[in-house]
Amino acid sequence: MRSVTKDEADLHVERWRDHWVLDQAFDDDIEAMTVRIGAIQKFFKATTKEAVARVGLQDFEYETLHALMIRDTPGRASPGQLAQEMGVSGAGVTGRLDSMEKKGWLKRMPGADDRRRVEVEATREGLRLWREAMALRGSAEDDVAHVLTAKELTSLNRLLKKMTLHIEQARDADVG
């Protein structure tokens, strides 16, 4: 039985430290951080997948509803905007929209400003399913976050933000 004071990252670092063969330094703290962030991400992906399945959605359906709902114009977008935001081809989005429209979770309609354009809008049923999945997902996220005090959570968010800003700046510098 594993000690309660050691997690998978600690065990990983212990194994790797003794078997490290590359000609570069091995930093226990960096390795442990990487493993822990990966484990948290894996957990949240699994709980989202479970929440989505419990409400009767497939992953792509939830992803599409989620992309529709977290916009500056909640619940409404053009197919092209959805394709770009989800990193899916136009044909891929069309297939998603066709099947979801048949299920009554979204509808396509002429654009408000330009009737030649098509806009996609979540229906009440689509919105209900998305909210239900979000509530289940949020419950799992809250469960993990509540092992921290409010002060610890604030500190963790400050540190993670510092790291993500660094990543975003490096990515933007590579693109620009």
Least Cα distance to 70 among 141, 133, 8 occurs for 133
Structure tokens given for 23: 């000609």
Polymer length of the chain = 176
Task: Give the pLDDT confidence score for residue 22 in this predicted structure.
Answer: 67
| pLDDT of 3 higher than 80 | no
Task: Give the pLDDT confidence score for residue 1 in this predicted structure.
Answer: 54
Structure tokens given for 62: 């939830």
Pairing assessment for the beta strands 106-110 and 76-77 based on DSSP bridges = unpaired
Least Cα distance to 67 among 55, 44, 83, 91 occurs for 83
Average per-residue pLDDT for the chain: 92
| pLDDT of 36 higher than 90 | yes
Please name every residue paired with 76 in a beta bridge, in sequence order, or none if there are none. 121
Q: Report the C-alpha gap between 153 and 142 in whole angstroms.
A: 11
In which band, very low, low, confident or very high, does the pLDDT at 176 lie, cut at 50, 70 and 90?
A: low
Task: Give the pLDDT confidence score for residue 2 in this predicted structure.
Answer: 54
Q: What is the pLDDT of residues 13-34, one digit of tens each?
A: 988 877 766 667 778 899 999 9
Q: What is the pLDDT of residues 156-175, one digit of tens each?
A: 999 999 999 999 999 888 87
Mean pLDDT score, 67-85: 92
Question: Would you call 172 helix, strand, or coil by DSSP?
Answer: helix
Lowest-confidence segment of 12-26, 50-64, 114-128, 131-145 by average pLDDT: 12-26
